[in-house]
């Protein structure tokens, strides 16, 4: 029996919300706006579904400008959600998490469109995916689920269905002894 590999998914939360095509419908980047909170919840649900059983997932939101941000984490459906501490950027947290995972030989995928983070983590042997690539992958996942919910009846392709009707009638007559 094969031993499952450990995998870690790290998502740059606000970067994906700003850069991913799935989340661009936000009217403005006002972090107190209900629309933005709805988009953030949508991202969390998307990460939960994308990670599934394959990945342990962490979403990192930037709390550097918030003097009250303690770096505390919350866990929802197996996904760890965190804001960076006051004065610490989400970029630094992502770089630290990906470096630590690589040191522990954990296969890691970082989702961000931030070129600096991509270069830093890729140089460290970590895979990366753009925010828009993540948006497209999640969109395809939901399309597949939607199609599975409304299955179409498949046409049964038999030999009898491919034989011309007059030939089929003659074969049936031979079979029935007529």
User: What value does the mean pLDDT of the chain take?
Assistant: 82
Nearest 5°: phi and psi at 74?
-130, 150
pTM of the model: 0.73
pLDDT at 44 over 90: yes
pLDDT attached to residue 111: 93
98-147 pLDDT, tens digit each: 989 988 889 999 999 988 888 877 777 788 899 999 998 888 887 776 66
> Both ends of the chain: CA-CA distance in Å?
58
SS3 category, 6: coil
Query: What are the chain's domains?
Result: 7-153 (3.40.50)
Residue 138 · residue 39 · CB < 8 Å = no
């Amino acid at each position: 029996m094969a031993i499952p590999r450990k995998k870690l998914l790290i998502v740059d939360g606000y970067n994906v919300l700003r850069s991913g095509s799935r989340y661009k419908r936000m009217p403005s980047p006002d972090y107190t706006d209900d629309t933005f909170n709805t988009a953030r919840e949508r991202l969390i649900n998307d990460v939960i579904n994308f990670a599934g059983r394959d990945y342990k997932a962490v979403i990192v939101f930037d709390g550097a400008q918030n003097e009250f941000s303690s770096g505390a984490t919350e866990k929802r459906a197996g996904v760890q959600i965190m804001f960076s501490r006051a004065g610490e950027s989400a970029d630094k947290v992502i770089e630290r998490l990906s470096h630590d995972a690589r040191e522990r030989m954990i296969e890691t995928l970082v989702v961000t469109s931030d070129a600096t983070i991509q270069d830093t983590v890729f140089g460290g042997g970590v895979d990366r995916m753009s925010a828009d690539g993540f948006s497209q992958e999640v969109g395809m996942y939901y399309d597949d689920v939607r199609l599975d919910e409304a299955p179409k009846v498949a046409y049964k392709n038999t030999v009898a269905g491919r034989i011309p009707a007059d030939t089929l009638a003659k074969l049936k007559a031979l079979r029935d002894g007529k």
